[in-house]
Amino acid sequence: MSQTNILLESGTNELEIVEFFLDEPEYRGHYGVNVAKVVEIIRLQPCTSMPQMRHPAVMGAFSHRDGKVVPLVDLAKYLDKKAVHTDDAKIIVTEFNNILTAFLVSGVTRIHRLSWNDVEEPGGFLQNMSRNSITGVVRLEQRVVFLLDMENVVADMDPNLAIRLNKISEELTGDKHYTILHADDSGSIRKLVKSLLEDSGSFTVRQAVSGEEAWAMLQDTKARAAAEKRPVQDYLQAVISDIEMPRMDGLTLCRKIKEDPELRFLPVALFSSIISHSLEHKGASVGANAQFAKPDLQQLSEKVLELIKMRPEAE
């Protein structure tokens, strides 16, 4: 399986997921991960222990293609499940945030093509029970599939991979203050991005949990601007969006913004773990002004400031 084989068009609000399962003594749990994050699915590999990685869910590491060493995570152990793995267990090798990580699972079922409209937001109870590792719920036939937040899993085990932001150059910030709309389905990501951007002193951050909610907020802003006979840019100066979100994804949100005569001047920056050189064309095709892989909030925030200042309306 290769990321370059993904045939989905950009901005159609579709996704493909790999469904896999974790077997427990009396229960089989069904889970999913975006195909865009999957490099390949392989058999269980012999691995070497990693003394520097002390999280109990890390089994060790094995040699992958081109001599790259990939850490192997026992996903069931991370989720506090008592999994029963057989000789048919599989390893899902993923790449997101430009990092290779492998996950041990009991087995892989199939690939499903879905609409983001089919993905339900997880409730607070489910989030708490899963250690904030579930970002969506899909009902398929006679079972429920939980979409896992693999980025949160990896960042939880290695804090060095978490989102961070240093002081922004005063040459970029100046004495102006800007309002940003940020859309992301991860509560932990929203909280961190809001805190870091607002603490920089350059931004006020409004937030949405999905592209659908962000689009509704943009429509409200348009209505207010029309009522007060002012441009939208007086109320909002840029949009930052994740790509993977229930109901409406970030690519569709970006396309809708760029097709709207009153909103298309807003800079849109995509901030997602699945952005890579092989997938950047998807964001470009819907008019994204910038694309950055998590956790690089530093370059993203600096680029957003540059984009805002390039607009005549910002003068």
Amino acid identity, position 146: F
Of all residues in the chain, what percent carry a pLDDT higher than 90? 45
Q: What is the pTM of this model?
A: 0.78
Q: Residue range 112-121: average pLDDT?
A: 90
**What is d(CA 91, CA 255) in angstroms, rounded to the nearest whole number?**
35
- What three-state secondary structure class fits 193? helix
Range(s) within the chain of domains with CATH label 2.40.50.180:
3-159
Q: What are phi and psi of 112, to 5 degrees?
A: -120, 135
Q: For residue 6, name the pLDDT band (cuts at 50, 70, 90).
A: very low
The predicted structure's pLDDT at residue 278: 65
Residue 146 has pLDDT above 60, yes or no: yes
Angstrom CA distances, 282 to 36, 76, 118, 285, 291, stand at 11, 33, 21, 5, 10
Give 123's pLDDT tier (boundaries 50, 70, 90).
confident
Higher pLDDT, 12 or 290: 290
3-159: CATH, from 3.30.360.10, 2.40.50.180, 3.40.50.2300, 2.60.120.380: 2.40.50.180
Percent of the chain exceeding pLDDT 70 equals 86
Q: Which CATH number fits domain 163-314: 3.40.50.1820, 3.40.50.2300, 3.30.56.10, 3.30.365.10?
A: 3.40.50.2300
Summarised one tens digit per residue, pLDDT across range 93-111 is 998 877 889 999 999 999 9
* Tens of pLDDT, residues 186-204: 887 888 889 888 888 888 9
> What are the phi and psi torsion angles at 28 (to 5°)?
-115, 115
Q: Is the CB of residue 187 less than 8 Å from the CB of residue 242? A: no
DSSP 156-173: HH-GGGS----PPPHHHH
Question: Which is nearest to 47 in space by CA: 73, 10, 75, 77?
Answer: 73
Please, where in the chain does CATH 3.40.50.2300 lie? 163-314
CA–CA separation, 264 and 177 (whole Å): 21
